[in-house]
Each structure stands twice: as C-alpha cells, then as structure tokens.
Chain A
Amino acid sequence: MTRSEPRAPDTPDLAEAVFVALETLDRVAPAARRAGRSEDPGSARPPRAGFDDLYRFANDPDMALSGDLARALASSPGLRADLRLLVERAARGGILVAAAASSGTITTRHGTSFRMTLRESRADRSQVYVLIQINGKAALSPRALFVIDDASACRKVSLPTPLNGTVQLLLDADSDIVAALRDPATEVFVQ
C-alpha cells in the first residue's frame, strides 16, 4: 500500500499532543482503576508504605517500624535519606555528637539538650546501661531514641520516663543497637 503524508487539521500538533497524552494516560493510569480492584478487597495488594508512614515513624515516638516501611527503607537509599532528614527535623536537641574513645568505639555522645553515656553493668557484664541525661536548662522529656546508619537504615527505641533528669536503658552488650551506638559512624538522635 502506498503511504501519503497524513493530512491533519491545521493544528496537527495539538491533535498529536492530545492523542499522545490520552495513550499515556491509559498506560500510567492507576492499576486500581484499570482492574477495578478497589471493589474487591480480596484481590487488593498489601498496603505499601507512603510518606505519611515515614513522617509518622519519625515524629510519633510510639509508632513502631512496620514491615512495609522496613522493606521500603531497605530497598531505597533515597527513602533512608528522607527518613534521616525527617528524624533530624523532629529531634530535640539535634544530633548527639560522638566523642571517640581510645579503643575506636565510643561511650559518650553530646547534644545541645542531652548527653548519652554507655556504661557496662557491674552486676552483669553482658549488659550495658544507656544513660541519657537531660541538660539542666532543657525542659524536655525525651521519648524516643533514633539510631541511624546507612547500611541498616534506622532503629528506634521508645524511652522510659526520666528519673531525676536521666533516662536509663538496659541493653544486651552484644546487641546490634549497642554496637551501633558505639560506632562513631552511626548517627544518634533523641526525640
């Protein structure tokens, strides 16, 4: 068949642009609409983590890390960077800066409102006390501890009520979180 040049209206660019947009809309239209999935809860995909989840995880001390969010964080360096920024914004007293010990690990971190110390338990050497002292001038009650290293994303520990200006946690000396707290490369925030 011979092909001649298309004879379109005088505004062929518009016709082509509308056609391209309509075809693209069909291609990227939400799957929920394409398949009518919203009407059949049984066939719905499991919920995915959104930025709302990330925001609430960073700002709500009582919100635990959900499986969806953990998977999303594990697979996305960008999301981990976003979480770090959100945690930094939500943190009271900013980042706790490490003071390096001679062994290459650290036992103390300082912030503008808090001071954190790791101390071996005298009663049980397999355990470590994490003491978070509230700066005298800061009328703040810390509620959560965020421990962030890029490789394993973010750990969050809910904190008990302070006693005499100090929050005290007792952790296994061999636990990942203690190792992370001792690691100078880890960033620690108190919320």
Chain B
Amino acid sequence: MATGIGTLERLAQAEMGGELAELLDSLAEATVRGAPKYAPRLHRTLVRAIVCRAYSGLIYELVHLMAAAHGVNRARGYEQMFWDQGPATAARFRAAFERALAHAPDAANVAATGNGIQAVYGDGSFAVAFSRMPLLAAMLDFLVSALGYREVDEAVRSAVKPPASQAALKRAANRITRALYAFLKPRLPAAQAQRKYRALMSFLSDRAGDAPVGKDAIDDDAVFEFWRDHGTDAQGDWKTYRTAVKAFLHLRDALGAAADREAMAGALPLDPARDGEAEASDLVLAACAAVDRRAEAIDCLRAPPAAAVKFLTKREAEGIALILGAGPHARALRLSVLRAAIFGAMQASISQTLRQGKQGVAAVNDACARGGDSYETHFAALAGLRDHLERVLAAAYHVLAQARDGQAISILLALDPGLDLRPLAANLAGPQPAGLNVVAIGAEAAARELFAHAADGAPDCPDLERFASRAAAAHRGLSRKGFGANEAGDPEIIAGFSAGAPALLQIRDCLGRFIAAIEALMPLARDRERRMLADRILFLNQFRILYGGTP
C-alpha cells in the first residue's frame, strides 16, 4: 500500500498525540517515596483542563503560587515546595508554607490566611487556597515535562525579581500559556474527531428528515444502522462497534450540553469578540467535567483511603465501566450498551485472531465457535454484581456503624428505605426550645441514638436489629482484603469503608437502573435469548463483511 502525505500526516499526529498521552500517563503514575504523587481525580481535572484548553486561569494561579513559594524560601527557591515535599496534598502545602513562614516571618509579601496564602503586591493582591495547590503542582509538573524546566523557570524568575507585581506575573503567565498552546497545537489534533462529529450529525440529519437533531434522535436503532452503514468507511473511524457506541454517547452528551446552553434564559450567545474563546473553553470544560465525573466512583475505590478495602476486582470494575460511562444515556441506549459488552468482546476476539495471522472469515468463524457471553449470561452476571454490591454495602454498614461513622446511615437508608425506625424516636427529643409546638430532632442526636442501638444489637427496634444482623452476616461472608473480622476496628480500614461507601452507592444505583432498563426491554430469560439469537445473526453478518468482504 502506498503511503500518501495524508497518511504520513496522520501518523505524525498520532505519534504526537501518543507523546501527549505518554506524558499524561507518566504524571498519573508518578510516585514520591513510594506513594502516588497525585490523586487520580486531581489528575483527571488536569487532563480535562488541558484537553479543553481551559488552562490559562490555572497557569496564572500557578505563577502566583510559585512566586509566593519563592518569596518565603529564597534560599532554596520555589522548587523545594513542589518537588521535595512528598505526595501533593493540601495538608503538605499548608505545612510547607507554615514552616517557611515561621522561619521567615517577614518573608516578602506573603501571609497565611487560614485556608491558603495571600500575596500582596504594589498593584493588588492575590490569594491561593491550599486545596488548589495540589492541582497547581500537577500543572507545574506537566508544564516542566512539556516545555522544559528552563522555559517555565525563566518566565517565573524574571517576574519575581523585586519589586514583584501582578502585572509582571500576568506577563509570565501569558508567556507560559502561549508556549503551552504552541506545544499542544500539533498534539491535540481535532480533525479526526471533527470528521466523526460531522459523519454522525449528517447521518442523524438524513434519518430525522425535517425534524431537528437533538440527543433524543440517538437510539439503539440509530447506533446499529450507523455502524452497519459506516463500519467499512475507508478512513476506518467506525470499524469497531464499541467505537460507534462510545461516539454516540459522546454525541448525546454534546448535544445535551448545547441544548442546556440554549435553554439558559437570557444567556448570551457565544461571542468570539467578548473573550469568546475563554468562555467556550469554560463551557466545554464544564460539559466534560460532568461526563468525566461518572467514572470517578471507580477511581475513588482504587485510590487511598478506599483502596485499603478490596471492594471490586478488576474484572468486576471493567464489567460496569461502560454502564457507568453511559450515565444518564444508559437507559436510552441500553441495547447498544449490552451489545457493546457482548459483540464488542467478540469483535475484539476477532481482531486478536487476525493479528495471529488467521484469515478474515476464518477468524469470524473461530470467534463464533468460541461462543462467549450471551445477553442472558451477561445479565445474570450484572445481577450477581448488584447482589455483591448489596453485600459489600451491608458489610460496610457493619464496620461503619461500629465506628459510629455517618456513612453508615446513608447505607442504611439506601439499602432499606422502608426500615421502621420509629422505636428509636422515643429517645430522640432533647431539650426543646420554648414556645414552639414542634419537636426538634437534631441530626446528630438521631445518629447518636441509632449508633447506640446498633451497638446494643438494637433489641427494641426490630427492623434495625434485623438489618444489623444481615450486615454482620454479610461482613462474615466476605473474605476479601479489608473484610476480615480482625480488621473491622482498624482505622485505615474504617477510613476505607467510609470513603468507598458513597462511590459504592453510586455504582449500585447506576447498575440497578441499567438492570431495570434491560428488564423493561426484555423481561424474561427467553426474551433475552431470542434477542441474542437475532442480534447474533446481524452482528456475524456485519463481521463477515468487515473482515471477509462477504456477508
């Protein structure tokens, strides 16, 4: 095959895009003294800011932080604050600034404010919260890796020469922002994604006729028809079914964000003349953050402190990743998500066989012979996972109620909302304000009462007693890391359960809604089996066209 200039350009872009991905990976995997330097959630916030090109404000804030860190420690420079403190956490930055200010109380123009630091200049002042500092540190690490230490250092050092001013720091931030823009320009090519967007919109427009194209125009039939018609496109954008499903999910999010924007009463249209680029970047960032947040539950379980407990195995987490990622669209595209799980896996298996040298149709036949999951077995696995999550949450209640952690109450109310807790009410009413004919029940008093009863086995509250007994049995029945009887009182394990509980509840809700949506579409096992047989014919035909050239 001849390699044209276009192909070379695509290869070059892929290589540069790969370089960016590699750079971001290295930040995600960075460790300091054996511990991850950045929390996954923080890293993703950084990645979003970079991809959405919404980084100018971050860089301005960073430059102020670097100037302040330099001001309180001129002997060692700002570098010590960023690269000699261990994992990047707000607490570490707070401690570092407090230490530095204690040794240099007259340090430059910087003072602690309780939640952060404030730097005062001749032309104004600027505050940076400790909670922002880990993210800014990640941005600095990224800048240094992307642009080089010298480039960033020169910009900042030239700005902190006395007398430092906001104007000088603004110039430094602008210089770094321009350099980053130039770095990212060839590494964040939009051409392929734009082409995909136009292909999807064109397809939906043709399908909709005169009706406007909104996110509701995307349904399971649309996804399959598009993939069937475009899977063989020469550019190869749509060869895999999973790619098509993911792209339609993205499109639903994108059209939803645009519709929300339109629906905002009195909102100004995007106006390039009014710093429109920054405004658009912020809107894109907000939309992406909302989408990205769906995956945070899994990340939360993998990161400390929740990682102290083995809530889910890798396979279990992978099984629900697409459902979580589909978020509010999982119901509308329930069949597509299910098909992506079953036939996406089959297509991956075909690709693997082809890489081993087998011919197209033979590879399809091989994958067909291997079988794999069906809708019914996959459905049963998801239902099993939902039950597992219920047991894990019950076990978490057992640990957290003993520790008197408030998350226990969230679990209790989520797992058994119909629980009759009225027997606890008798002891709840404390001293009442005079002149009121209502009984005030404080949340703290209610929690205290509940935990006191839970600790006693709740003999006078049968529902709670039954739930506590079920929770204890669930805890005994799990043998994964963190669920041992002798671990229940370990503060690290308690912190793990407490941090993991909200994420588990979110995953359980999401999975439960998806299972209910599948049940609504295919209530009985035979319905799922019938659909599987029909879809199997459709997909195998398409695979034969894609890989063998004939249906």
Contact = CB atoms under 8 A, between A and B. Distances in A.
Given A5-B205, A22-B288, A36 B25 contact: no
A3 B208 CA distance: 12
B258 interface: yes
Interface in A1-60: 1-33, 36, 38-40, 44-45, 47-48, 50-52, 55-56, 59
B465 interface: no
A3 B253 CA distance: 24
Interface stretch (A82-90, A109-117, A119-127, A166-174): A82-90
A21 B288 contact: yes
B376 interface: no
Contacts of A67: none
Contacts, number: 196
A150 to B, nearest CB: 14
Contacts of A16: 194, 197, 254
B141 interface: yes
Interface size class of A (residues with CB under 8 A): 35 or more
A101 interface: no
Residue of A22, A28, A82 with most partner-chain B CB within 10 A: A22
Interface residues of B, number: 80
A150 B112 CA distance: 42
Contacts of A100: none
Nearest to B147: A78
Interface string B138-182: 000100110011100100000000000000000000000000000
Contact of A9 (B25, B47, B214): B214
A31 B197 contact: no
Given A17-B280, A22-B250, A24-B190, A11 B149 contact: no
Given A3-B206, A7-B205, A16-B254, A30 B24 contact: yes
Nearest to A48: B26
Contacts of A18: 250, 253-254, 257-258, 283-284, 287-288
Interface string B29-69: 11110000100100110011001100000000000000000
B254 A22 contact: yes
B258 to A, nearest CB: 4
B255 interface: yes
A22 B206 CA distance: 24
B480 to A, nearest CB: 12
Interface stretch (B76-84, B380-388, B390-398): B76-84
The 8 A-B pairs of least Cβ separation, nearest first, read A6-B201, A55-B83, A15-B258, A30-B28, A82-B149, A19-B254, A18-B254, A23-B193
Given A36-B302, A81-B148, A82-B150, 15 more contacts: A4-B205, A9-B255, A14-B254, A14-B258, A14-B283, A18-B287, A22-B250, A23-B250, A24-B190, A32-B29, A33-B295, A51-B149, A52-B83, A55-B83, A85-B153
Interface of A: 1-33, 36, 38-40, 44-45, 47-48, 50-52, 55-56, 59, 78, 81-82, 85-86, 89
Interface of B: 17, 20-21, 24-32, 37, 40, 43-44, 47-48, 51-52, 77, 79-80, 83-84, 141, 144-145, 148-150, 153, 188, 190, 192-194, 196-198, 201-202, 204-206, 208, 212-214, 229, 246-247, 250-251, 253-255, 257-259, 261-262, 269-270, 280, 283-285, 287-288, 291-292, 295, 299, 302, 313-314, 317-318, 321
6 contacts: A4-B202, A5-B202, A7-B205, A18-B250, A33-B295, A81-B148
